[in-house]
Amino acid sequence: MADNTARDLAVDLPDLQAYWMPFTGNRMFKSNPRLIARAKGMHCFTSDGKKLLDAVAGLWCCNAGHCHPRIVEAIQKQAETLDYSMAFQLGHPTVFELANRLTEIAPEGIDYAFFVNSGSEAVDTALKMALAFHRLRGEGARTRLIGRARGYHGVGFGGISVGGISPNRKMFGAQLPGVDHLPHTHDLEHNAWSRGLPAWGAHLADELENIVALHDASTIAAVIVEPIAGSAGVLLPPQGYLARIREICDRHGILLIFDEVITAFGRAGDAFAASRFGVTPDLITVAKGLTSGAVPMGAVLAAGDIYDTFMTGPDAAIEFFHGYTYSGHPLAAAAGCATLDVYREEGLFERARDLGKTFEDALHSLKGEPHVIDVRNLGLIGAVELDPLAGQPTARAMNAFRRCFDDGVIIRTTGDTLAFSPPLIIEESQIEEVVECVRGALRASR
């Protein structure tokens, strides 16, 4: 869309009163609203026609760019053909196709896909699968779940229980019992200015041995981690760390779940971060990039032996008492198939890997700018951490967010970290545009 048409497409501001917005300062937003009315490719357009370069792919999800014609067409066609079919005891062709297509690109041994509607549902589903798996194998005492400090696994009760972000937990009571947490791996003293995986920190995986020693392996069902922690500020796993976690889980019969809601579908320069890092978990949770954000959908991808363990008992019996009305919704499944086509035909996973170095150099050029205390990156995910304003945590990053928005670029903040996860179609010149906009915002800040 050309710049001069954007203003022609401006829409009137609606009454903002009734909508209770998620993860948003409602009063602040409503006093200074920022409404996105349209999007195309790398750009979003506000309701008053302002053009913005999207450096976050919506919310880490529009990996193929906004409103990709191929995906739009697939959704339109599906809506005309089959709007919905019962998700339990009936199926429709597109969802089976999507399951096959996903398991083709998943790491070897990950052979099944269970569909849900979001990352949060994927996480809760994976945790339930892990618990039921052990029970079916006669190890029903394995009920403990191990997460990690600074982990984000969505907002279901399972997800916040294993998650490690205190504001997401503290208001909501006791949560799941029998949960423990690994320490996170973010340590600026050792890991600041890492390009790719930090060299320091693999030993932090050994804390899992201490947790096992405390609770006994016979009580632990699963460990869940994000291969790259996204929402807590893009924390890259130290070299060797994930392999060590895998090894300890194997030694003790504990399932390993990778939460790849952000990292799957090219973000880390491969179909899955598991593939990029050469470590295969037992269960992988995905969402976001699965449909390039166009229709809500998530999935749990499961190893063959997990599925096989459930496939016992009488043939007519339901093996897993779990599912959602909209599991494998036809519109989402059609969007998913078209999205996978786009990723393959446009070579977007390879593109993310190839652009990784340019992205890295551009982000690291911000070292030395006001308040920057760390830059870190891999593939097309990166972060710039800022020194917090005294007594006002998050304010400095929010100021940068607002300034960038005013100057035409959408970035994301988490705490005092600026996070970047552009659509995988980003051009080199647009990477430059993002970084120069951030540089300007930092130089303008107090």
Ligand X SMILES: Cc1ncc(COP(=O)(O)O)c(C=O)c1O
For residue 78, give the nearest of 64, 55, 95 by alpha carbon. 95
Structure tokens at 380: 């097309």
Contact flags string 47-86 toward ligand X, x per CB under 6 A: ----------------------------------------
**According to CB under 6 A, which residues from 248 to 267 bind ligand X?**
259, 261-262
Residues 112 and 99: beta-carbon distance below 8 Å: yes
The residue (of 135 and 322) whose beta carbon lies closer to ligand X is: 322
Contact flags string 94-123 toward ligand X, x per CB under 6 A: ------------------------xxx--x
- Considering only 65-73, 128-136, 149-157, 303-311, which stretch makes contact with ligand X by CB under 6 A? 149-157
Cα–Cα distance for residue pair 190/66, rounded to 1 Å:
38
Structure tokens at 349: 């996973």
Read off the amino acid at residue 168.
N
CA atoms within 13 A on the CB side of 306: 31
Contact flags string 210-229 toward ligand X, x per CB under 6 A: ----------------x---
Length of the chain in terms of residues written? 446
Cα–Cα distance for residue pair 133/124, rounded to 1 Å:
14
The residue (of 118 and 292) whose beta carbon lies closer to ligand X is: 118
Strands 179-182 and 220-225: unpaired
Closest approach, Cβ 22 to ligand X, in A, equals: 9
What's the burial of 116, exposed, middle or buried (CB within 10 Å: 0-12/13-18/19+)?
buried
- Considering only 27-35, 104-112, 147-155, 412-420, which stretch makes contact with ligand X by CB under 6 A? 147-155
Candidate list 92, 153, 186, 364; residue touching ligand X; CB under 6 A? 153
Structure tokens at 272: 């899955």
> Is 124 one of the binding residues for ligand X (CB under 6 A)?
no
Site size for ligand X, by CB under 6 A?
14
Report helix, strand or coil for 259.
Answer: strand
Cβ neighbours of residue 93 under 8 Å, at least 6 residues apart?
Answer: none
Find where tokens 């890991």 sit.
191
Structure tokens at 321: 């008492």
> Is 246 one of the binding residues for ligand X (CB under 6 A)?
no
Closest approach, Cβ 155 to ligand X, in A, equals: 6
The residue (of 156 and 269) whose beta carbon lies closer to ligand X is: 156
The residue (of 225 and 435) whose beta carbon lies closer to ligand X is: 225
Candidate list 154, 158, 227, 423; residue touching ligand X; CB under 6 A? 154
Closest approach, Cβ 261 to ligand X, in A, equals: 4
Task: Return residues touching ligand X (CB under 6 A).
Answer: 118-120, 123, 152-154, 226, 230-231, 259, 261-262, 287
